[in-house]
Amino acid sequence: MKILVAADFHGNSNAETNMAKFLERGYDCALLIGDLTNFGPPEVAESIFERVKEFGVPTFAIPGNCDPKQVLQVLDKYNVNLHEKCQHLRDVIFSGLGGSNLTPFNTPFELTEVEIQEDLAAINCVKSGENWVLATHAPPFGTKLDQLDEGSHVGSKSIRQFIEQKQPSVLACGHVHEARGIDSLGKTILVNPGPISSGFAAEIKIGNNKRDAQVDLLNL
C-alpha cells in the first residue's frame, strides 16, 4: 500500500493545490495529519476534503492544534475521522490522535500530557503482527521531529512513551514545521513530512509483513 502523508495546511490555498499535485502521482490512501485550518473556520477543512474527493482516494485525517474542535464534525461529515479511532484499509490499521501537547500560544486544540496518555491508551485495536500506522499531529519528544531551530524539543512525552511501549510500524506527525525529517524509536519509523503549504509531503509504503515499511520525504 502506498500512502500520501500531508500536514500543516493552515488554510493556505497553495496547500490544496500542492496536495492535488501529489495525489496525481497515484496513491492508495491519503493521510492528513492536522492544522487543516489556521484557527478556523471549519469550512476551510471542507474545501480540502472536497478536493480529495476528486481523486477517489480513501482518506483519513486528524485535527491539529490550530484547528478548532468543530473541525471534528467536518471529519465525521466526510467519513475521514481518525481522531481517537481505528480504521482498517486492506491489511493496514490506522489510528490517530489530533491536537497537540500544551504550547505557549493558547491554540484551539491542546491537551495535557495526562490527557494524551489516556486518549492513546483508549486506542486498543491492534493485534500483534498487524501493520499499524499511527498518526499524531504532535511529534514525540526528544527526536529529530520535534526540535526547533534554536535546539529545544517541544514534542509530547506521552506520545514518545506510547510509541516505545506499543511500537507501531510507522508514526506520522507534523506540527513542528522546521523539523521535517525521518527518525526512529525502537522498531518504529517516525516521519514529519513538513508543511504541505511549502510543497512538502511524505510517502509510506507498507508491504505484507509488519516491519515491511518504507518512508520517503517528497518535494514538489
Question: Residue 110 — pLDDT band, cuts 50, 70, 90?
Answer: very high
In the structure grid, which three cell numbers stand for residue 3, read together? 500512502
Contact indicator for 68, 96 with CB cutoff of 8 Å: no
What is the pLDDT at residue 173?
Answer: 98
Q: Is the pLDDT of residue 126 over 90?
A: no
Question: Residue 128 — pLDDT band, cuts 50, 70, 90?
Answer: low
Per-residue pLDDT tens over the stretch 43-99? 999 999 999 999 999 999 999 999 999 999 999 999 999 999 999 999 899 999 999
Average per-residue pLDDT for the chain:
95
What lies within 8 Å, CB to CB, of 25 at 6+ separation is none
Q: Which helix or strand (DSSP H or E) is residue 75 part of?
A: helix 71-77
For residue 83, which of 68, 102, 107, 99 has the smallest C-alpha distance?
99
Taking the C-alpha atoms of residue 199 and residue 168, their distance in angstroms, rounded to an integer, is 27
pTM of the model as a whole:
0.96
Contact indicator for 59, 32 with CB cutoff of 8 Å: yes
- Count the residues in the chain: 220
User: Cβ of 178: how many Cβ atoms within 10 Å?
Assistant: 12
pLDDT over 90 percentage in the chain = 93
What is the pLDDT at residue 6?
Answer: 98
Q: Where are the domains of the chain?
A: 2-219
Question: Residue 153 — pLDDT band, cuts 50, 70, 90?
Answer: very high
What is the pLDDT at residue 210?
Answer: 64
71 three-state secondary structure: helix
Contact indicator for 136, 62 with CB cutoff of 8 Å: yes
User: For the structural domain made of 2-219, what CATH number should be given?
Assistant: 3.60.21.10
What is the pLDDT at residue 148?
Answer: 96
**Average pLDDT, integer, range 117-126:** 90
